[in-house]
Amino acid sequence: MFFVISGFIIATVMRGRTAAEFYRDRLRRIYPAYWVATVPWLLLAIWGGLTTPERTLSSLTLWPIYSAYAEPYLRVAWTLSFEMLFYTAAALAILTSARLPLAMFALCFAGNLIYRTPLLAFTGSPMIFEFLAGVALTKAGRSEQAAVFLLPAALIAVALAPIFDEIGLAHPLSRIALWGIPSAAIVYSALSLERFVTRWANWPAKLGDASYSLYLWHFLICALFPAVAAIPLSIAAASASYRFIERPILRLKPHVGDRGLGRAPMPAE
């Protein structure tokens, strides 16, 4: 669902921008806060003697493929590697047309089904379909009646699906069927039922502005504190990170969509 939402947001905010403007804004949105959150994990890796050149490069650049897959020190950053891959494809689509990155992905996906090299497993990952589903939702009509039935069905499908570790990246088509399609259905239903969200949702929306910081810091907080304390401490750390790291950076040149990764901007923004 993270990738479906991201595809929806990016397809919305890339309109009316040049490829250079879009890509510059995405770099500014992702890297500074991420690098700060990576520092504790880098120090822990140095202290534990777990550093490698490949993992260091992966952590700095978010490009994870060298001779093999190199996991970033901040483990949740693997999703940001896919984000940057998608952003690169989106910038290429602006620069040329959507046909070129779509054709490149189709070739990589087909190669991934056959050869399973680390590079093809990354560039041809089924997760790209989840981004594309989010893009497609920007063009889809809304139906509250359909959403009422679709949402519970999608939630049940997700609940009955195997956990991600059992699917992994070894079964690309299974991931699309078991996770991608239900996730797209959940996001579509939420968009269709959006008008029922009233002003009581203002506070959660403000918390959603800090969702990227929450994503970056929760793993460290959960590793240090028990679950009961980890939730409020993660929220507090995310709020502080958003206020003192993200917002000052974003205010350098604010743009549509620079609010939280987890919240789609309204057209008027």
Residue pLDDT, tens place only, 199-239: 666 777 778 889 999 999 999 999 999 988 999 999 999 99
Task: Let me know if residue 269 belongs to a domain.
Answer: no
Q: What is the CA radius of gyration of the chain?
A: 19
Asked whether the beta carbons of 211 and 262 are under 8 A apart, the reply is yes
CA atoms within 13 A on the CB side of 108: 20
- Indicate if 90 and 124 belong to the same structural domain: yes
* pLDDT reported for residue 175: 82
At 174-189, the pLDDT tens digits run: 888 888 999 999 999 9
Residue whose token pair is 């190199």: 70
Exposed, middle or buried by CB within 10 Å (0-12, 13-18, 19+), for 180? buried
**Distance of alpha carbon 41 from alpha carbon 34, whole angstroms:** 11
The total domain count for the chain is: 3
- ∠ CA(50), CA(30), CA(82), 5° rounding? 70
- ∠ CA(40), CA(43), CA(46), 5° rounding? 150
Percent of the chain past pLDDT 90, that is, above it, reads 72
Helix boundaries (H) for 143-246: 144-160, 164-167, 172-175, 181-192, 202-209, 211-224, 227-241
pLDDT surpasses 50 at 257: no
Residue whose token pair is 């050869």: 115
- Indicate if 13 and 134 belong to the same structural domain: yes
Identify the CA nearest to 23 among candidates 87, 118, 99, 109. Answer: 87
Last residue of a domain, one of 131, 160, 189: 189
Last residue of a domain, one of 160, 189, 218: 189
**Distance of alpha carbon 162 from alpha carbon 144, whole angstroms:** 29
**Distance of alpha carbon 212 from alpha carbon 217, whole angstroms:** 9
260: which 2 tokens? 């939280």
- Indicate if 166 and 92 belong to the same structural domain: no
Task: Let me know if residue 267 belongs to a domain.
Answer: no
C-alpha pair distances (Å), 42 with each of 34, 37, 55, 155: 12, 9, 10, 37
**Distance of alpha carbon 116 from alpha carbon 23, whole angstroms:** 29
At 130-172, the pLDDT tens digits run: 999 999 999 999 999 999 999 999 999 988 887 755 444 446 6
- Indicate if 239 and 175 belong to the same structural domain: no
- Indicate if 93 and 157 belong to the same structural domain: no
- Indicate if 173 and 217 belong to the same structural domain: no
Residue 117 belongs to domain spanning: 1-139
**Distance of alpha carbon 243 from alpha carbon 206, whole angstroms:** 12
- Indicate if 44 and 109 belong to the same structural domain: yes
pLDDT tier at 196 (50, 70, 90 boundaries)? confident
What are the residues whose beta carbons fall under 8 Å from the beta carbon of 142, sequence distance 6 or more?
191, 192
Exposed, middle or buried by CB within 10 Å (0-12, 13-18, 19+), for 187? buried
* Mean of all residue pLDDT scores within the chain: 88
- Indicate if 11 and 122 belong to the same structural domain: yes
- Indicate if 177 and 205 belong to the same structural domain: no
Task: Let me know if residue 268 belongs to a domain.
Answer: no
**Distance of alpha carbon 5 from alpha carbon 72, whole angstroms:** 23
* pLDDT reported for residue 253: 62
- Indicate if 10 and 89 belong to the same structural domain: yes
Q: Give the H or E element holding residue 82.
A: helix 78-95
- Indicate if 85 and 48 belong to the same structural domain: yes
